[in-house]
Amino acid sequence: MADTTDHTDPTGRSAQPARPAPPDRPVYVIGGGPGGLAVAYALRSRGLRAVVLERSEQVGASWRRHYDRLRLHTTRRQSALPGLPMPRRFGRWVARDDVVRYLEKYAEHHRLEIVTGVEVSRVERSPDGTGWLLRATGGRELTGAAVVVATGYNHTPRVPDWPGRDGFTGEFLHASAYRNPAPFTGRDVLVVGVGNTGAEIAVDLAEGGASRVRLAVRTAPHIVRRSTAGWPAQYSGILVRHLPVKLVDRISRLQAKVAVPDLSAHGLPRPETGLYSRVLEGAIPVQDVGLIDAVRSGRVEVVAAVEGFENDKVLLADGTRVGPDAVIAATGYERGLEPLVGHLGVLDERGRPVAHGARTPEGAPGLYFTGYTNPISGNLRELAIDAQRIARAVSRDGAPGVSRLPG
């Protein structure tokens, strides 16, 4: 049928049919932790609408689950997110609960648009090819001009598939479930893994009344003082980050000989691989918050790596068997990104994004990742830098139909 609509304006002149308005779509930020909140603010400060989707009921969910004694290993000033300093009353090394308070205040102060209780299960290209389609809980299908994935470095607890573990008669838990030493008072505990989490939990247990604490180590870590003569280790990490790897390895080796005692007699020899070389492989140095003294005094005993379980015994790599009452696996986390974006070809063989920050993966324009590296210069500091870079990239590249804030 012919179009009989009268296309005239109020003055009587002929007018062209109205063109459909371009889609009005926000930038969706998946994850309400520090990285997601920082990106949302950075986008908002450029006049772009950003909507944070958080699967839990509160921001900073992963921080709320950390063990009680946790403090940042980075300084307060170098851990603040864009647009809001951390209060001086938090001290130099900010406690877990204060980090949570800061994230809550950050979201409120910047009036961020946050939707809680919504978990995104899959990200796909939108049918028209100009944006991204998010499939979320409750059958939601959300279309965004761009997407920033910020679900966190510590997303899914990783537990090695040790033979016989299911038949272990003692208590077994991942470090993500550990809160404080109270349940382990008077008990024999084996902590598996000597990253920062394992080291700190072992010290916490030794100081909190466990009858015996053993720390299973496969590869001896680099240990650094959190602060030496008032100079935080983070500052050194910032200064050397862009220097040649071999040079940093040599500098850190000399520094360790001066600042850190040789613990070889206690089962922790100095690593043969350089500190920065190990960082690039994904192994961040252990910052000493009591481990050195605990190992030297015998309150924490270093033992060989775990190879398997046999009823009430744990089999170690040196052939010995130990019988702890409880085993705490400080064995790290998976990024857990495969169900979300694995089908897009944007992850490497280890499940990590092939691009992060302002760069987008090839063939996936408008898809950004933040928080999936563990830099020597401090995770929160780099999240803050990434947030500004991502916001500039989204603004510069002009994601089609991106929503803009009024005014």
Is residue 270 within 8 Å of 255, Cβ to Cβ? no
Q: How confident is the model at residue 229 (pLDDT cuts 50, 70, 90)?
A: confident
Record the tokens describing residue 13, joined without a space. 């002149």
Please tell me the predicted confidence (pLDDT) of residue 23.
59
- Report the pLDDT averaged over residues 374-389: 94
pLDDT higher than 50, residue 2: no
- Report the pLDDT averaged over residues 384-402: 89
**Tens-place pLDDT, residues 93-118:** 999 999 999 999 999 999 999 999 99
**Up-side HSE of residue 238: CA atoms within 13 Å toward CB?**
15
Q: How confident is the model at residue 283 (pLDDT cuts 50, 70, 90)?
A: confident
CA distance 103 to 109: 10
Is residue 372 within 8 Å of 392, Cβ to Cβ? no
pLDDT higher than 70, residue 11: no
- Of 29-33, 37-41, 55-59, 332-336, the poorest mean pLDDT is in 332-336
pLDDT higher than 50, residue 17: no
**Up-side HSE of residue 66: CA atoms within 13 Å toward CB?**
21
Record the tokens describing residue 217, joined without a space. 């180590």
Please tell me the predicted confidence (pLDDT) of residue 406.
83
pTM of the model: 0.90
CA distance 144 to 128: 12
Q: Angle at which helices 245-259 and 233-240 pack, to 10 degrees?
A: 160
Please tell me the predicted confidence (pLDDT) of residue 1.
40
User: Which is nearest to 371 in space by CA: 359, 379, 363?
Assistant: 379
Structural domains present in the chain: 27-155+335-397 (3.50.50.60), 158-332 (3.50.50.60)
Over the chain, what is the mean pLDDT? Answer: 92
Return phi, psi of residue 313, to 5°: -115, 155
Please tell me the predicted confidence (pLDDT) of residue 398.
62
Q: How far is CA 261 from the centre of its chain?
A: 30
**Tens-place pLDDT, residues 242-267:** 899 999 999 999 989 999 999 999 99
CA angle 285, 288, 293 (to 5 degrees): 135
**Tens-place pLDDT, residues 354-380:** 999 999 999 999 999 999 988 889 999
**Tens-place pLDDT, residues 165-197:** 999 999 999 999 999 999 999 999 999 999 999
pLDDT higher than 50, residue 9: no
Q: How confident is the model at residue 403 (pLDDT cuts 50, 70, 90)?
A: confident
- Buried/exposed code over 97-107 (b: 16+ C-beta within 10 A; e: otherwise): ebbbbbbeebb
* Beta carbons within 8 Å of 311's beta carbon, 6+ residues apart: 164, 167, 168, 169
Spell out the SS3 assignment of 221-240: CCEEECEECCEEHHHHHHHH
pLDDT higher than 60, residue 19: no
Q: Determine how β-strand 140-144 pairs with β-strand 132-136.
A: antiparallel
CA distance 27 to 46: 12
